[in-house]
Every structure is written in C-alpha cells, then in structure tokens.
Amino acid sequence: MPESQNPGKPQVKDLTQTPFVRLYDLVYPDGYHYLEASRRTGEDLLASLEPEQLDQVLPDAVSACLVVVTPDDEPRMVLSYEYRYPTGQYVLGIPSGLVDARDQDEGDPCVAAMVREIAEETGIRLTEGDTVSVVNPLLFNSPGMTDESTALLCAVANLDDLSSLSHAGAEGSERFDGFELVTKAQARRILAQGRDPHGHYYPLVAWAAMTYFACDLWQGGF
C-alpha cells in the first residue's frame, strides 16, 4: 500500500471490557474513529502492530478439516452440528476452538490446540500414525468489526471404525447435536447447495474446509 494511503497507527481507547470480549475505539491520526471488538488486550491489537510483527502473531483460534480413513469405506470429512448462539440454531461446522495459554508452551501451539479440540469435540485421539498440518496460519474471520482470526489445519485420522466418535468431551457452553460424515461427492453437493442437509446455512470456515477436502488438497497439496 502506498504510504500516502496508509492512515497510520491508531490511538487505542478502551471502551468496555468483559471476561469474553473487549470493545475499543481506534482513533486514527486523521481523526477517523473505528469501533473494534476483540479478545485481545489493547497492547496486542493487530491494528497497533507493525507489518513484520504479524509474522509472530498466533491466531485466536484453530479450525480443522478433519478427515477419517477407515478400512471399510472411502475417506470422509467429519462435520458436526454445533449450536451457535448468534444464529440461534445448530449449524454445520468443523472442529474449532481457542488457542489457550497452555498451547503456547508447545512446539507448535496451533497443532497442540487442534489436537486437543479434536479430542474434545469428536472423541478422536490422534496418534503417531495420523497427521496434523497447518494449511494457513492466520485467516481473518472478518476484518470489519473484529480482528478475530483462526488458523486452518488439516488432520487425517486412521481409524479401525467410527465407534470413538463422541461429543462427550465438549466443554463450557458448547452444545452439539450429532455428526455429519461426508464423502467427497457429498461435500461437493453441500457446497453447491450453500446449505446443510437440513436446509440451514453454515459458516465460511466450514465452506473453506469442505472445499479443501472436496478438491483432494488434503492428499497432496496444491
């Protein structure tokens, strides 16, 4: 971006703080105000960082394209129906969760967080014969009202059967209502329809993960 079009770094004014989210007024040098909601403290807001500092930023959350491979069927992607409070309904989604402080002590915090979330939300405990890789380390959920971001990962679990699938490990306010295991053809159908099998819309990150699976990118990359 040309320097003449860069509004510069804002002065951050703290408006509201809660245990779950904070509200800030970003005041730019030209006097322009922008309201931002974020999980981050004022010192860690992405708007205040220099471009080179973004390379060191961990995402707020992780999300996975989770593929299960069993002896008796073709590979399938694991989707779940999770209650999303802002939508007021269960929506089709993928294993996701926040990166915790405990994850930051691991060699790869995103992988550590994803392994934990997959176990909690699906009952699948990844072993040495399985793989977990980062597809994209930081994707903005929305560069509008919030700076919230997620890393997109791909996990491949080799299972004897699907008996381990369970939502029993869900924590806190998480609510689930079953799984949807889809083949590549079924994923493409959901992508084409723009709705889940019950006729409901789904999150963009689920669309991205299903596209990754349906295009066979999980098997060999681009």
CATH code, 191: 3.90.79.10
Are 20 and 69 within one domain? Answer: no
Are 114 and 69 within one domain? Answer: yes
2 lies in some domain:
no
Are 76 and 155 within one domain? Answer: yes
Instruction: Give the predicted TM-score (pTM) of the model.
Output: 0.92
Residue 213: partners with Cβ closer than 8 Å, 6 or more residues away: 65, 67, 77, 184, 187
201 lies in some domain:
yes
Strands 149-158 and 61-69: parallel
Are 34 and 74 within one domain? Answer: no
**Residue ranges in the chain whose pLDDT is less than 70:** 1-4, 221-222
pLDDT at 74: 97
Are 152 and 206 within one domain? Answer: yes
pLDDT at 7: 81
pLDDT at 1: 43
How far is residue 203's CA from residue 152's CA, in Å, rounded to a whole number? 13
The residue among 178, 8, 212 whose CA lies nearest residue 93 is 178
The count of domains in the chain is: 2
Domain with 28 in it: 8-48
pLDDT at 3: 55
65 lies in some domain:
yes
